[in-house]
């Protein structure tokens, strides 16, 4: 045998009762919570966030380019050092042989001819090495200019990043201070709402995009912005003042005000 469900009794049990003044307090609470939501949204969508994200990518790219440019400079510096050493080594040998010839230490004609040929070969080698040295120096100067330019760009990007972080943190401080103020004001306001009504309000806020209670103004729910039909208006007129109403369309708590148009 099935037990008959008494819908009228169930509806009565589900109907919340709250003093009209307590219901009006819900609107104050909703206003505070909406402001807190706005502040948190503002905190998360500051333009500095996008600017810092874009600048982070720019700085990473500049650091990568600077690293590669520094490797080129270091390699060319090492190459120039080697070429300088090679030039100096050949010049030392040439100067030694020239001194021996000038001092008359080479008396054998064949040896003298051979040494003179070797000196000519050393001169050609020196010329070749000096040309190579000049080419490496030119490449090193270009590479150093590139590195200096990248370092300057990176320093500028770092400075801009610091300014953006400072501006963001200043705005964070302002927003957080106002959030703390809203939270401080919310506590005493919430104490004026019965626990069961407050629990319902919190659940609805979580499910209804942050709006758990809406004022009935000019026969319109300020939550879903839909006007109530005549049947609903008649039903509301017949409801007790302490009955907690719900919008038939959005299910938010519907709070009667002086501007309800009833």
The rounded mean pLDDT for the chain is: 90
Please write the tens of the pLDDT for every residue from 86-118: 999 999 988 988 888 878 887 888 888 888 888
Average pLDDT over residues 120-130: 91
64, 70, 71, 75: CA torsion to nearest 10 = 160
More confident residue, 85 or 7: 85
Class (C level, CATH) for 46-188: mainly alpha
Please write the tens of the pLDDT for every residue from 35-76: 999 999 999 999 999 999 999 999 999 999 999 999 999 999
Given a cut of 70, whether residue 20 has pLDDT beyond it is yes
State how far the Cα of 35 lies from the Cα of 41, in Å rounded to an integer. Answer: 10
Given a cut of 70, whether residue 12 has pLDDT beyond it is no
Q: Report the candidate in 135, 129, 146 with the shortest Cα–Cα distance to residue 71.
A: 146
Are 58 and 157 in contact, with CB atoms under 8 Å apart?
yes
User: Of the given ranges (35-39, 100-104, 143-147, 218-222), which has the lowest mean pLDDT?
Assistant: 100-104
More confident residue, 8 or 101: 101
* pTM of the shown model: 0.74
Instruction: Give percent of the chain with pLDDT exceeding 70.
Output: 95
pLDDT at 14: 59
pLDDT at 31: 96
What are the extents of the domains in the chain?
A: 7-43+194-256, 46-188
Q: Report the candidate in 204, 252, 256 with the shortest Cα–Cα distance to residue 233.
A: 256
Q: Report the candidate in 236, 237, 258 with the shortest Cα–Cα distance to residue 245.
A: 236
Are 91 and 126 in contact, with CB atoms under 8 Å apart?
yes
Given a cut of 60, whether residue 237 has pLDDT beyond it is yes
Q: Residue 64's beta-bridge partner residues?
A: none
């Amino acid at each position: 045998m099935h037990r008959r469900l008494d819908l009228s009794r169930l509806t009565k049990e589900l109907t919340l009762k709250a003093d009209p003044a307590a219901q009006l307090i819900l609107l104050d609470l909703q206003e505070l919570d909406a402001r807190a939501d706005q502040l948190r949204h503002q905190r998360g969508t500051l333009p500095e966030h996008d600017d810092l994200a874009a600048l982070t990518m720019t700085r990473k790219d500049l650091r990568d380019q600077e690293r590669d440019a520094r490797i080129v400079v270091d390699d060319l510096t090492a190459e120039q050092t080697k070429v300088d050493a090679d030039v100096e080594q050949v010049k030392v040998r040439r100067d030694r042989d020239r001194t021996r010839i000038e001092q008359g230490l080479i008396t054998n004609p064949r040896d003298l001819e051979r040494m003179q040929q070797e000196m000519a070969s050393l001169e050609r080698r020196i010329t070749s090495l000096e040309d190579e040295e000049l080419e490496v120096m030119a490449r090193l100067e270009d590479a150093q200019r590139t590195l200096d330019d990248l370092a300057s760009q990176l320093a500028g990007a770092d400075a801009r990043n610091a300014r953006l972080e400072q501006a963001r943190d200043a705005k964070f401080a302002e927003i957080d201070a106002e959030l703390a103020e809203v939270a401080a004001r919310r506590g005493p306001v919430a104490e004026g709402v019965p626990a069961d009504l407050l629990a319902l309000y919190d659940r609805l806020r979580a499910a209804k995009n942050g709006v758990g209670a809406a004022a009935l103004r000019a026969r319109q729910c300020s939550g879903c912005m839909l006007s109530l039909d005549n049947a609903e208006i008649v039903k509301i007129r017949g409801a007790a003042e302490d009955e907690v109403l719900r919008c038939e369309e959005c299910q938010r708590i519907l709070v009667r005000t002086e501007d309800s148009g009833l």
